[in-house]
Amino acid sequence: MKDTKVIELEEVTIRFSGDSGDGMQLTGTLFSDATALLGNDISTFPDYPSEIRAPQGTVGGVSGFQVQFGHKQINTPGDSAHILVAMNPAAIKANARFIEPGGTIIYDSDSFTEKNLKKANFTTDDPFAECGLDDYFKIPVPVTSLTVAGLKEFGLDNKSVLRSKNMFALGLVCWMFNRPLDFVEEFIRAKFSKKPAVVDSNVKVLHDGYNYGLTMQHMTPSYLVHPAEIENGTYRNINGNHATAWGFLAAAEKSGLELFLGSYPITPATDILTALSERKDLGVKTFQAEDEIAGIASAIGASFAGDLAITTTSGPGLALKSEAIGLAVMAELPLVIVNVQRGGPSTGLPTKTEQSDLLQALYGRNGESPVVVLAASTPSDCFHYAYMAAKIALERMVPVILLTDGFLGNGSEPWKIPTMAELPSITPRVAKEAATFKAYKRDEATLARDWAYPGMPGFEHRIGGLEKNETGTVSHDPENHHVNSEIREEKVQRVVDLVPDLEVCGDEDGDVLVVGWGGTYGHMISTVRELRLEGKNVSLAHFNYIKPLPKNTEEVFGKFKKIIVCELNLGQFAGYLRDKLPQFTYHQANKLKGLPFTVTELKEKITKLLED
């Protein structure tokens, strides 16, 4: 046997793709976790079909998982894949545009039957030619038949055997990229500990795939991607939804309060509910409500009772929660509403990412109903902004909406686990002096009222959705309503003293300032870095605090000749900036395809703006 040829790479992108029943999400997740454990920096992008179970073998039913990993800093899952692992013809059709020119396609040759080609709407027996992939390096692997042969002695039914195909593909790719199988084996043994036959069969197929790569190494070299140089510390691979859940756990610990989550399951936010429901050991109380309204109503009740109260949802659910958010605004209770945005309107594209709920978060309630609005930028910093959302809510007695999105919630990256000592303090505004207590008496600096809840003798007061005066008595006085409306808005604006100054990545002044918010950060910082390496005078200002805006925003904007706002909607943040800072001209880069930006797309738009 000849020696294995090993090619060293700085970074590589792999896309696993197949039918939604082929286990591509699990395959991608296990490969990513194993890669993170080896010390590579990574970024992932799970791409689910919009239907729960689209017809098998069709393009609409294709499920994908993309991961980019490398020796250097990785901020995106990659524009296109260097290697596509395709389990059926539909995966080729769905992903042809996402493969790097000259890339490698590993495919299950057993699945390329006339029937499956027809299901994927191919008109010839050569799907690669139809998709313009003639010049790509293609590796046919009989995954199905090898899996069946490998499990022949296990006595499993055909359905169980075919469920193991993804492990064969995972083993093969682990060989190609020198990933050890230890972590994957440990996962399989833990997950299926009560089903020894499932454990043994999956481990067998995993090693079969690895050994196939070793035996057939003449078809493909082995690749080596060295670990990234990262700050010392304890790391784990984490997705945005789990990071959000853990941010709230940390906030509850830091504030000394019990954590309550009242939510209704909705894609792609459900994992936050699931993650917190597993932490009864930390005193977490979770309530899976019968609908979105009951979910937030229970959270408001928990807030009234003195808990750190959270509710989670996605776009349609935020619409249903709008009246209750108004109640929390009027009652001035601390509450955090997490909106993991998805494609809309209505059911829209429930498994695809979008940033189109910004205006709903800012204005989507009746009356003058101001809330603080934050947005996380990366899967791992969902932890930080969940923590900060809780801090602001508890210290300023105000509802806070935290915006993430499907890309962040499902995507993952390495996260350095902080110590509790590193996190800022949280001091809830719990009332202390019963003799001087008035329900809506305010702190002069912050305008926040004190928090008094049942069980505190001497602090009894009326609370509800009707307008009140300072003592908590219902008031129909028009002057009082006008003043209180201004106070509630000003209270939100004064949160600016907790908001850090807007930072500029690049020069402090120049030709173009690229502006974004939320989950577009990775693609935007990668774009700006590449343009600056090409000698372009371009900088980035990325927003995590939307309402209120950082106090130096006007100063930053004023130092650049042109401003371009990039967002996954039709221009909602650009419109908001035109309202708040109308003295500047805002160019726009918008995308509404259920997918993140690509670095290539952004470079083209920004380069064109530089040339105009």
504-611 placed in CATH 3.40.50.2300: no
Angle at Cα 36 formed by Cα 30 and Cα 39, nearest 5°?
150
Angle at Cα 111 formed by Cα 107 and Cα 114, nearest 5°?
125
- Domains 242-498 and 504-611 belong to one CATH topology: yes
Q: Where are the alpha helices (DSSP H) in 139-180?
A: 143-150, 158-162, 165-176
φ/ψ of residue 383, rounded to 5: -60, -50
| pLDDT of the residue at 120 | 95
| pLDDT of the residue at 518 | 97
| pLDDT of the residue at 1 | 40
Token readout for 382 is: 């969902």
Q: What is the DSSP string of 176-226?
A: HTT--SHHHHHHHHHHTTT-HHHHHHHHHHHHHHHHHHHHTTTTS-EEE-P
Token readout for 337 is: 């509403």
Give the 3-state secondary structure of residue 67.
strand
CATH architecture of the domain 6-224 equals 3-Layer(aba) Sandwich (3.40)
Q: Which residues pair with 115 in a beta bridge?
A: none
Q: Where are the domains of the chain?
A: 6-224, 242-498, 504-611
What's the pLDDT tens digit per position in 348-384? 999 999 999 999 999 999 999 999 999 999 999 999 9
Dist. CA 224–CA 376, nearest whole Å: 33
For 297-309, give the secondary structure using H, E and C: HHHHHHHHCCCEE
| pLDDT < 70 regions, the chain | 1-5, 52-53, 217-221
| pLDDT of the residue at 222 | 76
Q: What is the DSSP letter of 518?
A: G
Q: pTM of this prediction?
A: 0.94
Distances (CA, A) of 300 to 229, 321, 333, 571: 45, 11, 7, 32
| pLDDT of the residue at 346 | 94
What's the pLDDT tens digit per position in 274-325? 999 999 999 999 999 999 999 999 999 999 999 999 999 999 999 999 999 9
- CATH for the 242-498 domain, from 3.40.640.10, 3.40.50.970, 3.40.50.300, 3.30.1360.200: 3.40.50.970
